[in-house]
Amino acid sequence: MDGIVFNIQRYSIDDGPGIRTTVFLKGCPMRCPWCSNPESLLPAPQLLHRYTACKICGECASVCPNGAIAFAPLTDDPSARGPRFDRASCVACGVCARECLSQAIKISGEEMSVEKAWETIRKDSVYYEESGGGVTCSGGELLMQPDFVAELFKKCRENGVHTCADTSGFGSPEALDKVLEYADLVYFDLKHLDPARHKVLTGIPLAPVLRNLKTIAARKNATLVIRVPLIPEHNDGRDNLEAMARLVKKTAPASVVHILPYHRYGESKYKSVGMEYKLHGLRENRPQDLQYAMKIFENEDLSVKVM
């Protein structure tokens, strides 16, 4: 049972309780403009170019078997220097990455078996035991690779390792059932509760997300945590936050709500994958913004934290 994984991060403390290993999966149906992992969006392996590490040597262009890299030599205009990638022609073969001495080029994403992922995960079993940690599958969207996630979580459960599914909630009921069977904890993102606005922000409809939220809450076999990325000027309005608070109160009143402050940590990655970061210059949350959001959820007698 293979998946497409773009990173396995050890010693993580931000993706669930305790010290964890987070398995980041490729592929996501959403296109949230604040996404901090743009390399996760496409389901297949892809080329990343760290332009800050590039030595502008031209070796990548000379070895590419598909002619997908053009090279602009040194000029007086820094923005015109270096490799130019025809990503439509790139097949992520990795030849250029292997020849890049400065490691400015890499292939993000590799086909990985459950056993190979487990070999990394099991190395930190003592930390899971001592800290109450475990394994988190994130992405991307794990519901795009439900068979791999289910088998990996099953392996974890057989070995006494806690599992957390970090999801945007968009996926088929069948995919959700497979993951829920072996998930101990679910981190569930809510982006916006106005259907039209949700479609504009994420590119997908809201209804399947709400359907899956209700399924998770009703099954009660996994602890449910609601996570709200608080994005200025996008979903931090009073009407939206109050609608979220009412939904959580009605659907999953025992859940903890995590407010996730907006950050720009992933902005530099966008150029690496040939994408534009559309929120450039957007301000971060002010302390009063976070307190305001917390108060709205607390008004519904919900437990809420700013993460």
38 shares its domain with 51: no
Average pLDDT, 10 consecutive residues per value, the chain (307 residues): 95 95 98 96 95 90 94 66 90 95 95 97 95 96 98 98 98 98 98 98 98 95 97 97 98 96 93 94 96 98 96
Domain C-terminal end among 55, 89, 108: 108
Residues 284 and 158 both lie in one domain? yes
What pLDDT shows up at residue 52?
A: 87
| 272 plus 216 within the same structural domain | yes
Note whether 103 and 148 are same-domain residues: no
Do both 220 and 277 map to the same domain?
yes
**Burial profile 65-79: b = 16 or more Cβ within 10 angstroms, e = fewer:** eeebbebeeeeeeee
At 294, which CATH number? 3.20.20.70
Please give the radius of gyration of the chain, using alpha carbons only, rounded to the nearest integer: 21
What's the confidence (pLDDT) of residue 186? 98
Domain that holds residue 101: 46-108
pLDDT at 109: 96
Matching residue, tokens 């030849």 = 95
Amino acid at 86: D
Neighbours of 235 (CB within 10 A): 24
- Note the pLDDT of residue 165: 98
* In a shared domain, residues 228 and 126: yes
The 3-state DSSP class for residue 44 equals coil
* Residues 104, 115 within the same domain: no
Do both 34 and 179 map to the same domain?
A: yes
Give the integer Cα–Cα distance in Å for 56 and 66: 20
Cβ–Cβ < 8 Å for 138, 166: yes
Among candidate residues 63, 87, 108, the one where a domain is terminated: 108
Provide the H-helix boundaries in the chain: 59-63, 95-99, 114-121, 125-131, 146-158, 173-180, 195-202, 207-219, 238-251, 267-272, 287-298
Do 120 and 13 share a structural domain? yes
What's the gap between Cα 229 and its chain centre?
Answer: 12
Provide the pLDDT for residue 1: 77
**Residue 80, pLDDT score:** 65
CA distances in angstroms from 21 to 1, 115, 136, 161, 177, listed in the order given: 19, 15, 6, 11, 23
Q: Do 236 and 155 share a structural domain?
A: yes
Among 92, 108, 124, the domain boundary falls at 108
pLDDT of residue 286: 97
200 and 214 share one domain = yes
Answer yes or no: do 196 and 157 share one domain.
Answer: yes
When divided into structural domains, the chain yields a total of 2
